[in-house]
Amino acid sequence: MEGAVSIAIEARDGAARAGCLSTPHGEVQTPAFMPVGTRAAVKAMSPDELWSLGYRLVLANAYHLAVRPGPELVQEMGGVGRFMGFPGAVLTDSGGFQAMSLAKINSIDENGIRFRSHLDGAPVALTPESAIELQERLGSDMMMALDECTPYPIDRERARASAEMTARWAERSLRAHRSPTQALFGIVQGSIYSDLRAMSARQITALGFDGFATGGLSVGEPKEAMLGMAELVVSMLPEAKPRYLMGVGTPEDLLAAIAMGYDLFDCVLPTRNARNGGAFTSRGRIAIKRAIYARDARPLDPDCGCRGCATLTRAYLRHLYLSGEILAARALTEHNLFFYARLMSQARTAIASGAYREFQRAMIDRISAAEGETGGAKSNVV
């Protein structure tokens, strides 16, 4: 089933590409970062604030919406986008990752996944067919085929069996796909084994999906392995379809993935770090709770154009955070999402001008040098 979404590549610089993703709810300039709206809400942000920051595509969590409020209600309210009041496009996942990360799994077999709800322990069953039905009822613009997201570490034979089953599930997902206005993406798995990743990429790309994703990374594996597998897979994905790297989200990793040729990204990092007092800036990461900011009258980032940096000092933000004020989470979240949106915009401009590699190196050098001087946190979680 073709035509629900399409991507037009407008500029290239090496493998990096800038384009326009057309969806039933408008166009999305790529490369694009998707804020994560787990329960049809990006934490601490209103839909109009996301729109004003330039976001035209967000991610919602099919599993969470299935258990509350339920797909019937979302469908009755006109679909997930209208339900949450977001005028742009919405991508929903299949629920496979949550089966691994949130719930106690009872069993995974050829038919699907059975586990317990994280809310009340009620049994939940996901099959490739029911995951598609769920997402079609949610009314998202882009849906993900059910896959098994394996943890790290995992032995080769278990990873092979999982990747092969994911391919069989992908075929069943395509057969279950009915809605001509909703795109369906296939997901490449295979853990950190290059031969299994290549096998999975061949199997998934042989199927008629509207887009393709690399999944099962950023689950605890070494950074070098994550980047290596991401690069291997993207080299095997079709040029004419959108390419999505799932769950990878530090600024440095996003810049590396853009250089590989990925178009779409999502991660909880900017919003989760904000709620924990962490800010991403053009001069490195800041942990606002540190005592050195107690009398710091500077903005978080003097080069930032977000509302918080125009009016709020580091000292005040530190006070808000230590006092448990909701404004701390709101201001830091808006700042981080502004930073990520601007990073994507800067990347697109650099690709169009043929200077992406220089931009990437300059950004990483600047962030690294600033963090070395200030003692900023360098890990994924501030």
Give the three-state DSSP class for 322.
helix
Strand 105-108 versus strand 113-116 pairing type: antiparallel
- The one-letter amino acid code at 259 reads A
Q: Which phi and psi (to 5°) does residue 87 adopt?
A: -80, -10
Give the three-state DSSP class for 302.
coil
Give the three-state DSSP class for 217.
coil
N-to-C CA span, the chain: 43
In the beta sheet, which residues pair with residue 184?
143
CA 32 to each of CA 17, 35, 87: distance values in angstroms, whole numbers, following the listed order: 11, 10, 17
**Is residue 303 annotated as part of the catalytic site, yes or no?**
no
Q: What does the alpha-carbon distance between residue 256 and residue 246 come to, in Å, rounded to a whole number? A: 14
Strand 284-287 versus strand 278-281 pairing type: antiparallel
Catalytic residue among 93, 141, 147, 301: 93
Asked if 192 and 160 touch (Cβ cutoff 8 Å), the reply is no
Strand 264-266 versus strand 32-34 pairing type: parallel
Asked if 269 and 278 touch (Cβ cutoff 8 Å), the reply is no
Q: What does the alpha-carbon distance between residue 113 and residue 363 come to, in Å, rounded to a whole number? A: 42
CA 194 to centroid of chain Cα atoms: 23
Q: What is the CA angle 108-160-249, rounded to 5?
A: 80
**Is residue 93 annotated as part of the catalytic site, yes or no?**
yes
Placement of tokens 């950023």 in the chain: 218
Catalytic residue among 210, 263, 266, 301: 266
Q: What does the alpha-carbon distance between residue 181 and residue 38 come to, in Å, rounded to a whole number? A: 22
Active site members: 93, 266
